[in-house]
Amino acid sequence: MEFFPIFLKLRQQRCLVVGGGEVALRKTRLLLAAGASLWVVAPELAPELAELAESGELEHVSGRYSPALLDGLRLVVAATDDAEVNRAVAADAEARGILVNVVDDAEASRYISPAIIDRSPLMVAVASGGSVPVLARSIRARLESLIPAGYGRLARFGSSFRDAVKARFPDVDARRRFWETVLEGPLADAVMNGDEAAARAEMEARIAAGGADRAGAVYLVGAGPGNPDLLTFRALRLMQQADVVLYDKLVAPELLELVRRDAERIYVGKARANHALPQDDINQLLVDLARQGKRVLRLKGGDPFTFGRGGEEIATLAEHGIAFEVVPGITSASGAAAYAGIPLTHRDYAQSVTFVTGHKQDGSIDLDWQALTRPHQTVVVYMGVSTAAELCQAFVDNGRAAATPAAAVEWATTERQRAVCGTLATLPGLMASHGIASPALIIVGEVVELADKLAWYRRSENSAVTIQED
């Protein structure tokens, strides 16, 4: 290792920043956040540094750097735009055994500042040895998405029980197993979601019971319309923690690749009149798996509360006293419309939007056609591919003009996305001739006219194709 990773306690320790510009300001913010007693030496200060000096948060030494300023210091940062001055600061600090950092000069530095993920008291630091700082920042950005802000609360919560757990579990291995059971799952989620009172009561009960088996829980997670980049941070984290995942047909294969490798996978997909597992059986399976102490991920395409039967599933879980959480996802209508360049509302075309499902459980079509055929609105039809001809004809029969723009978007937001745009009269034929199949949504309304101008999603010559009616 070129640099030994270490965390310094700088609270009330005297530190010095040499320089008064924007670079010095960035270092100053970090040192102040660590509680340092800070001096800044520079002839002039950047406006924000000057404000910090005026408020008494740091002491400004007006003038140029002098070696005498190093007396009694714990740490020094050289952050001027003069390489010669920076090197002089480094040499003087080295001679006195003071830790020194020269910004953008790892060779002259005794320490370097890493890219930091602050979830105090939990801290994560990433460094590239000073060679490629941008790479360290890029990795930090990725880790930011995987480490929720609530981990700080979880760290403080765990710290408050450290002595009690150590007394209850003298054996190191037993203590480690206990912490593993509580730092993931419902108890940890309660802490991070702000319900610390319930978590504290549960923690005390677990310590008293000597580390009973982990309680299971179910997480209903919206996987979004298909593009992995559209997952929420929370969804991704739960996907990587799950013991078992129940997924359906609308979950894109790319998303399943993000689930923990050793998690059990159970397909419970449904198509029209062809259910791999009836809904009641899915509900009961969620209960049974949770009672086995497993973290169960119910992964649903789009949003679990938008035609996803999420309400039915959590009703069963609540009835059986199973802990659960619902993680919203980008609903497929929003994803499909955005990636096809079709605004769902637009002040010149549509002032409202309605989501409907294309058929009932028995396959029949029974919609409020009077409401759906009002002017100046957009209608998005879920699960309407198999009944597209009947749906489009019903719109016309109930008052919408046959020339009303209409579109179908298949595999929205993914590399396989295709959109066909026509009218209520022509859309069924376009869908048939181009082989549009489920998963796909149908969008009806004047906003579809904008697709030709606003369709932006083009990944390759063979993907994300928008086909306009001739």
Name the binding residues for S-adenosyl-L-methionine: 225, 301-303, 383, 412
What residues have CB less than 8 Å from 39, skipping those under 6 apart?
14, 15, 16, 17, 58, 59, 60, 61, 69
CA–CA gap between residue 37 and residue 59 (Å, rounded): 9
Tokens 């957009």 identify what position? Answer: 378
Q: Residue ranges for the binding site for NAD(+)?
A: 22-23, 43-44
CA angle 166, 153, 155 (to 5 degrees): 35
User: Is 452 an active-site residue?
Assistant: no
CA–CA gap between residue 395 and residue 409 (Å, rounded): 19
Residue 405: strand, helix, or coil: strand
What residues have CB less than 8 Å from 316, skipping those under 6 apart?
283, 284, 286, 287
Tokens 């002039």 identify what position? Answer: 44
CA 11 to chain CA centroid, Å, is: 33
CB atoms within 10 A of CB 441: 28
Helix axes 196-209 and 172-182, enclosed angle (nearest 10): 150
| 8 Å CB contact between 19 and 46 | no
118, 249, 270, 288: the active-site residue: 270
92, 243, 248, 294: the active-site residue: 248
User: Is 248 an active-site residue?
Assistant: yes
Catalytically active residues are: 248, 270
